Amino acid sequence: MKTHTAFLLLFVLSVSPVFGQGRGGAPQATPPSDSTPRVETAGEKEEKISQTSHTIRLDGRDIKYTATAGTLPIRLDNGQVAARMFFVAYTKDGEDAKTRPVSFLYNGGPGAATIWLHMGSFAPRHVQMADEGFQPAPPYKLVDNENSLIDTTDLVFVDAIDTGFSRVVSGANNAQFHGVRGDLRAFGEFINNYLKTYSRWPSPKYLIGESYGTIRSAGLAQELQNRHGIELNGIVLVSSLLTYQTLSPSPQNDVAYAAHVETYTATAWYHKKLPAELAGDLKKAVDESRTFAFGEYQTALAKGNRATAAERKATAQKLARLTGLSPEYVERANLRIDPGRFRKELLRDKRLVVGRLDSRFTAVERDAAGENDEFDLSNSALQGPYTALFQDYVKNELKWDTDLHYPTSGNVRPWNWDEFQNSYMDMTEPLRSAMSHNPFMKIFVTIGYYDMATVMGGAEFNFWHLGYDPTFVDRVSFAYYEAGHMIYIRPSAHKALTRDIGKFIQSTRNAPRPASTSQQN
């Protein structure tokens, strides 16, 4: 399995095909052997809980809330504590827990801490970025978040094991949590434990995951049902990904080439590389691109060597028009544009490469003639501000202290893909199953036009293949934003995203049974 060579932020492990590494089972307590690498573990100091009181002003009103920082134990089937997962919960004061929504938020990776959602999205405090979400100059500032969701839902931000401050305990094997099943088991145990510890069983419940966190959410909905009897009101997928097929172009997988075309169009539109007739309206340009990508273009790719020279030239001309690339380049690439090559080629004449996580970002690299990007500025632009301010915030404002390091990208290699061996990692079916068992659960898919890590065409393709019945289709809604992977770093998109998620949560409370699932005579 090839892995992405740049620093892993929060998002996608790989853009190449993903294969399993053997079938995993339920987590087991395994004492470390002499050959087992020593890892940092949670101790007595990490068991403490800190609660602090705060106030934020939103829409002209003062909202009082309590922040709870600490860890909860993750137990195995025999009751033994194997790990402690770190969380920060924000609960609005004076609310009835029986009716107050609670949302669990996490990033992805695999191996990403939840610092990115925590410091950027919906918590009452967030990092102040420069205009339009670009990199700020140091020193950095943590400010009240006018786009917090605290007025709509309580928020529980939680780190995956071996990321952030979440660790196994001494004597436990951390590798048991480094895989699809172990990861789902840990998050399921955490949510069950949180609901029990803080008496939130009656609350409306939501998952808000980003990137690989959306794959986690799809599997976690089923895990919560099957193992804990917990049903969700809704799931918000931020920068959605359900299968790696749509991100893994190869000679055997033309679907991924088609899935990227809309994002190429949006990126070329932003950088003014499209012809005049496409330059005015972003949505119109993307709509045309979608029709071409999953229609004429996909048909042309399927023809392979059966396509005539005239057909190849015509397809190259149309693809070039929609991507800002030259027809000659498209033909030389056999009509198949790899996303890494696109990022280098689009602005090559200016010696610029566009960002992977957010293609609005551009950087000057060492080699303007190369095929691979040196680094992703849209990644590194957040690393300094978020890391510095988060650690200061937890210690000095939330009053929770530890001697542990805070890896924003934890060492969780190798990742065990369980029964997904010899296939693309795909959580579409577990999500369908969870929705089938719970006809009230709804899904909200949020997409950034400039996200080249989890592309919009991929998310659309996933949900076009979910369930094949109105009972599933009618419970999935989409929203698009002029932003990248971290939709919330761009202020205008952040405001719209918060508003839309708030409306989604309200719409799922006491939702009627869908007509198509009603009992028949």
CATH number, domain of 406, equals 3.40.50.1820
Task: Specify the pLDDT at position 374.
Answer: 72
Give residue for tokens 């107050």. Answer: 100
* Pairing between β-strand 154-158 and β-strand 102-106 as defined by DSSP bridges: parallel
Confidence grade of residue 390 (pLDDT, cut at 50, 70, 90): very high
What dihedral angle (degrees, nearest 10) is formed by the CA atoms of 171, 191, 242, 380? -70
Q: 1 lies in a domain?
A: no
Task: Specify the pLDDT at position 511.
Answer: 65
Task: Specify the pLDDT at position 14.
Answer: 37
- Res. 200: pLDDT tops 70: yes
Return d(Cα 167, Cα 84) in angstroms, integer.
6
Q: 412 lies in a domain?
A: yes
Q: What is the pLDDT of residues 214-271, one digit of tens each?
A: 999 999 999 999 999 999 999 999 999 999 999 999 988 999 999 999 999 999 999 9
Domain boundary pick from 375, 393, 423: 375
Q: What is the pLDDT of residues 468-513, one digit of tens each?
A: 998 899 999 999 999 999 999 999 999 999 999 999 999 998 666 6
Statement to judge: residues 369 and 404 lie in one domain: no
Q: 283 lies in a domain?
A: yes
Q: What is the pLDDT of residues 256-272, one digit of tens each?
A: 999 999 999 999 999 99
Task: Specify the pLDDT at position 76.
Answer: 83
Statement to judge: residues 99 and 168 lie in one domain: yes
Statement to judge: residues 80 and 210 lie in one domain: yes
Q: H-helix or E-strand containing 492?
A: helix 491-508
Statement to judge: residues 236 and 322 lie in one domain: no
Q: 21 lies in a domain?
A: no
Statement to judge: residues 284 and 390 lie in one domain: no
Name, in order, each residue with C-beta under 8 angstroms of 376's C-beta and a sequence gap of 6 or more. 6, 7, 355, 356, 357, 361
Q: Which structural domain, as residue segments, surrounds residue 504?
A: 44-244+383-509
**pTM score, two decimals?**
0.91
Burial readout 90-108 (b: 16 or more C-beta within 10 A, e: otherwise)? bbbeeeeeeebbbbbbbbb
Statement to judge: residues 79 and 203 lie in one domain: yes
Statement to judge: residues 167 and 55 lie in one domain: yes
Statement to judge: residues 198 and 301 lie in one domain: no
Task: Provide the domain count of the chain.
Answer: 2
Q: 6 lies in a domain?
A: no
Q: Helix-strand-coil percent breakdown of the chain, rounded to 5?
A: 40, 20, 45
Q: 496 lies in a domain?
A: yes
Task: Specify the pLDDT at position 28.
Answer: 35
Q: 10 lies in a domain?
A: no
Confidence grade of residue 423 (pLDDT, cut at 50, 70, 90): confident
Q: What is the pLDDT of residues 84-143, one digit of tens each?
A: 999 999 999 999 999 999 999 999 999 999 999 999 999 999 999 888 888 888 889 999
Return d(Cα 267, Cα 451) in angstroms, integer.
9
Statement to judge: residues 74 and 196 lie in one domain: yes
Return d(Cα 261, Cα 462) in angstroms, integer.
15
Statement to judge: residues 168 and 72 lie in one domain: yes
Statement to judge: residues 282 and 167 lie in one domain: no
Q: 30 lies in a domain?
A: no
Statement to judge: residues 88 and 199 lie in one domain: yes
Task: Specify the pLDDT at position 132.
Answer: 85
Give residue for tokens 């996580």. Answer: 357
Domain boundary pick from 375, 401, 435: 375
Domain boundary pick from 375, 406, 429: 375
- Res. 194: pLDDT tops 90: yes
Q: What is the pLDDT of residues 23-38, one digit of tens each?
A: 223 333 333 333 445 5
The H-assigned helical ranges of 175-225 are 180-197, 212-223
